[in-house]
Structure 1
Amino acid sequence: MSRYALPSIVRAPRMFGLILPLVGTVALSTACTAAEDGSDATPSSAATTSAPASPTDQPSGSASAPTTIPTSAFVELPSELRKSARRTTDVSAALPKLCANEFGTGGRQVTASAAMTVTYKKAGEPDSNTPQGMIHQTIFTFDGDGAADYLRRLGDAVRACPSFDQDGNKVTVQSKAVTGVGDEALLVTHTRPATSLGGERTGGETSSQIAVARVDTVVTVFNDQGWEGSSGNPAILDRTMRDGVRVIDAWQS
């Protein structure tokens, strides 16, 4: 087992040793125009503003359906894996696409959405080395049972997409439920022929993963991408997903 993989755990309690500083607030796009039946709801460009850094900044809205998501709700990598600090990312760019817009189907029950990206390296490597990959994290908040509905629709959509074409190459898709993470979680693996930066096949395969977890009325999507078309790191994604769920649970407390 990789030194960074963590065993499955039951849902974390409300108090944690992982504490992230609140360095600002990521403003959100709340104007979702899709229907609750699963039609596209992700804006083409997330509306974002910056708030002054303050340890007392708090998200607005009710606890069950906030309309802003603070930066502190996003995971930060441990220092030995961090190539660069997390940064704000457009939601539509952060979410993966397989056969279609499977991950952008929140519906009208979405009350807030925001995304950030972290770049990671191999542990122990100097910062001057090439990164190993990057993880885009998106957070959605929902009214009512919208979060559970999103996971249900997403699971159905991924199962309906066993493969798709990407730049002339066949990409295969597999998914499985992940136990012991949040209220429910899904792991999606997509595998494709390895290619050079110019698109020529180099032999072998590369694969990346997408992890999705629900914590009460919040859903977070982790989209892991290997650097310049290389494979992602499943152990780092697993650790990031579990740490991310703890951070969201603490934010909701």
Structure 2
Amino acid sequence: MNRPSRPDRRRLWGLSVLATALLAGACTDGGTDPNRGAPPAPSTVPTSAAAPSASSSTATTVTIPRSAFVDLPAELRKGAPQPMEVADALPKLCAEEFATGGRSVTAGAAMMSTYQTPGDPPENVPYGTLHQTVFAFTGTGAGDYLRRVRAALALCRSFPERGATVTVRSQPLASTGDDALLVTLTRPATSLDGSPAEGTTTSQITVVKLADAVTVVHDQGWEGSSNNPDLADDVARAAARGLDSWQR
């Protein structure tokens, strides 16, 4: 299964913008997918978490639709996005930096997408994957979540992974949502069999807050290869648009 060289892939990816049309439909609640492997879910699926309504004592069910997630244009889509469990989608570095850790979460859901480069033949392996989680909050929960993530990352400059050391660098993303953060993970490169290879590889985590929601997108290259860091801004803007379209 052939994969273009990294310079060629970077050039091809520059031809496309990730922020395009948004998917229709909905995700399962809290990232738990009891029908994993089943046909696509209907257009809306309520989550199990409920938040008290401001105007009554009746609990209001919060639903996270598929339109809240990043979509890929057809030429970049390797396969149909699939629901996954939040616990599997959220990256783990030194600890549980991206866990919510609070009662202000009213719902959570996660999706996994595989992507390719434009014009790739069907037999080629994917370029990489996006593991995305969306959380809905009440009150100041969304802002509190970003503060907890930043505090945890300040204590996590590196962590061990399969006998190697992964370095962690985080930086703010300006003009993205209400608040946004980009985390770059750099690790020694390995071959497909896990043996050491020359150079390093990267993956990136984009965290975007907009109104009462936060999304975490983990962009990873296929089988341990690098993602494309040049696409970080496009991923962040697409993630913000997804949250915005849902909360309008």
Q: Specify the code of the residue in structure 1 equivalent to 2:28.
A: A
**Contact 1:183 1:216 survives alignment (8 Å):** yes
Q: Which runs of 5+ in 1 are unaligned?
A: 7-16, 30-44
- Equivalent in the alignment of 2:85: 90
**Contact 2:29 2:46 survives alignment (8 Å):** no
- Equivalent in the alignment of 1:178: 173
Q: Specify the code of the residue in structure 1 equivalent to 2:27.
A: V
- Equivalent in the alignment of 2:29: 28
Q: Tell me by how many angstroms 1:19 deviates.
A: 4.5
Q: Tell me by how many angstroms 1:232 deviates.
A: 1.0
- Equivalent in the alignment of 1:240: 235
- Three-state SS of the structure 1 residue aligned to 2:81 is strand
**Contact 1:66 1:141 survives alignment (8 Å):** no
Aligned counterpart in structure 1 of residue 219 of structure 2, from 224, 234, 240: 224
Q: Specify the code of the residue in structure 2 equivalent to 1:143.
A: T
1:108 matched to 2:109: no
- Three-state SS of the structure 2 residue aligned to 1:155 is helix
Percent identity between the two aligned chains: 47
1:53 matched to 2:55: no
TM-score, reference length from structure 1: 0.80
Following the alignment from structure 1 to structure 2, what is the Cα–Cα distance between the partners of residues 178 and 241?
Answer: 8
Q: Specify the code of the residue in structure 1 equivalent to 2:112.
A: T
Q: Tell me by how many angstroms 1:93 deviates.
A: 0.5
- Three-state SS of the structure 1 residue aligned to 2:194 is coil
**Contact 2:21 2:71 survives alignment (8 Å):** no
Paired residues in the alignment total: 225
Runs of 4+ in structure 1 deviating by more than 4 angstroms, as ranges, are 47-52, 57-66
Aligned counterpart in structure 2 of residue 148 of structure 1, from 116, 130, 143: 143
1:123 matched to 2:109: no
- Three-state SS of the structure 1 residue aligned to 2:124 is coil
TM-score, reference length from structure 2: 0.81
Instruction: Label 1:212 to 1:21 Cα distance change in 2 as closer, same or farther (>3 A).
Output: closer
**Contact 1:183 1:215 survives alignment (8 Å):** yes
Q: Tell me by how many angstroms 1:234 deviates.
A: 2.1
CA deviation vs aligned residue, 1:195-247 (integer Å, no higher than 9, x gap): 12322111110011000000111000000111000011223443232112112
- Equivalent in the alignment of 2:6: none
Q: Specify the code of the residue in structure 2 equivalent to 1:26.
A: C
Q: Tell me by how many angstroms 1:58 deviates.
A: 8.1
Following the alignment from structure 2 to structure 1, what is the Cα–Cα distance between the partners of residues 33 and 120?
Answer: 36
1:198 matched to 2:193: yes
CA deviation vs aligned residue, 1:22-77 (integer Å, no higher than 9, x gap): 23x22313xxxxxxxxxxxxxxx7255688634xx486878998622112221210
Following the alignment from structure 2 to structure 1, what is the Cα–Cα distance between the partners of residues 90 and 147?
Answer: 17
Following the alignment from structure 2 to structure 1, what is the Cα–Cα distance between the partners of residues 89 and 226?
Answer: 17
Aligned counterpart in structure 2 of residue 164 of structure 1, from 159, 162, 173: 159
Aligned Cα root-mean-square deviation (Å): 2.7
Q: Tell me by how many angstroms 1:166 deviates.
A: 0.4
Instruction: Label 1:206 to 1:51 Cα distance change in 2 as closer, same or farther (>3 A).
Output: closer
Q: Which runs of 5+ in 2 are unaligned?
A: 1-9, 55-59
